[in-house]
């Protein structure tokens, strides 16, 4: 079992592993704006309009495709917007027009978009939408954060000499592992009822290593659930010959969930943090 000191190990956990691209994916932002650039330029003619309702309706008659960029003006990514008021319930489609142009005109007025354009509160819809997209993209940081640790671990796997799709594999399900190496993993799949996916799998001559990675910059109930589930996996895999479970985790979020993490640390020999990676643990684990 693990002979390392848990508290000393935990003290080396990091505040963040954010890289430069973590904060905003500008490549994605610019691509999204570019996809509707022509339509936005057409709608730019409404800025400062003295007769905005008539001008808008004339534009939609001539260029109905401009409707597709209306939702993003409200920071909405879907093609449909549902609203309810004293007049009733409406579900506007901005992909396949399902109301009269005058109804869409009413939508623009009631949401405040006419006022935004008419009163010249903005100078350019492309700049405006770029700002909206930037704000919406910041909501994607959580998803990007989940991949940062995965990407970091993968760089160390590669530095240790493993080659993708040759002796290390990314995102493999239990059934794929069973089929590829003819190993029975029913003990960790609830007799085939659970289809778990591991972040990485490394195959050496002697062993199969199934790997999970995560980083938690903040605390929450998910951390305790993760620690408990990985403790269960540890015990289930221990009963199967030829396979080893390895967990790379880090992040100060664990400081408030240390009790559950320590329970897993006590039973899982192969649990490591970023400091372990930097000190060459990869070359010691996989034999």
Inside any domain, residue 42: yes
Query: Structure tokens of 110?
Result: 């009631």
Q: Which residues constitute the domain of residue 208?
A: 140-285
User: What whole-number distance in Å separates Cα of residue 96 and Cα of residue 247?
Assistant: 48
Q: Which two tokens stand for residue 244?
A: 């080893």
Cα dist from 219 to 15, 172, 223, 255, whole Å: 12, 28, 7, 8
Is 78 in the same domain as 166? no
Reference 128, options 35, 41, 49, 23; nearest CA is 41
What is residue 59's predicted lDDT score, i.e. its pLDDT? 98
Q: What is the pLDDT of residues 172-216, one digit of tens each?
A: 999 999 999 999 998 886 655 578 899 999 999 989 999 999 999
Over range 215-233, report the average pLDDT: 90
Q: Are residues 68 and 151 in the same domain?
A: no
Do the beta carbons of residue 94 and residue 70 sit within 8 Å? yes
Q: How confident is the model at residue 140 (pLDDT cuts 50, 70, 90)?
A: confident
Examine the fold and report which residue of 93, 112, 138 is the final residue of a domain before the chain moves on.
138
Instruction: Report the alpha-carbon distance of residue 267 to residue 9 in Å, rounded.
Output: 15
> How many angstroms separate the CA atoms of 152 and 147, rounded?
8
Q: Are 212 and 272 in contact (CB under 8 A)?
A: no
Choose the final residue of a domain: 138, 168, 186: 138
Spatial contact of 97 and 83, defined as CB atoms under 8 Å apart: no
Q: Which of the four pLDDT bands, split at 50, 70 and 90, describes residue 145?
A: low
Cα gap 228→186, rounded to integer Å: 19
pTM confidence score:
0.70
How far apart CA 12 and CA 254 sit, in angstroms, is 11
- 272 and 145 in a common domain: yes
């Amino acid at each position: 079992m693990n002979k390392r000191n848990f508290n000393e190990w935990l003290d080396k956990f990091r505040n963040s592993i954010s890289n430069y691209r973590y904060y905003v994916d500008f490549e994605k932002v610019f691509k999204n704006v570019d996809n509707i650039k022509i339509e936005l330029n057409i709608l730019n003619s409404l800025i400062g309009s003295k007769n905005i309702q008539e001008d808008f309706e004339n534009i939609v008659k001539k260029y109905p495709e401009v409707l597709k960029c209306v939702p993003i003006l409200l920071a909405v990514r879907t093609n449909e917007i549902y609203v309810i008021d004293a007049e009733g319930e409406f579900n506007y489609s901005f992909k396949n027009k399902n109301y009269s142009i005058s109804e869409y005109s009413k939508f623009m007025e009631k949401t405040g978009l006419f006022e935004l354009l008419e009163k010249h509160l903005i100078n350019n819809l492309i700049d405006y939408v770029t700002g909206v997209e930037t704000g919406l993209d910041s909501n994607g940081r959580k998803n990007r954060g989940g991949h940062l640790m995965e990407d970091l671990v993968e760089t160390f796997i590669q530095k240790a000499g493993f080659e993708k799709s040759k002796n290390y594999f990314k995102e493999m399900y239990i059934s794929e592992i069973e089929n590829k190496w003819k190993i029975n993993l029913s003990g960790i799949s609830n007799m085939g009822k659970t289809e778990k996916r591991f972040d990485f799998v490394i195959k050496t001559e002697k062993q199969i290593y199934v790997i999970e990675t995560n980083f938690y910059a903040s605390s929450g109930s998910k951390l305790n659930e993760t620690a408990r589930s990985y403790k269960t996996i540890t015990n289930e895999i221990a009963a199967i010959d030829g396979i080893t479970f390895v967990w790379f985790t880090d992040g100060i979020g664990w400081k408030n969930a240390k009790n559950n993490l320590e329970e897993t640390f006590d039973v899982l020999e192969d649990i490591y943090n970023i400091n372990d990676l930097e000190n060459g643990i990869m070359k010691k684990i996989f034999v």
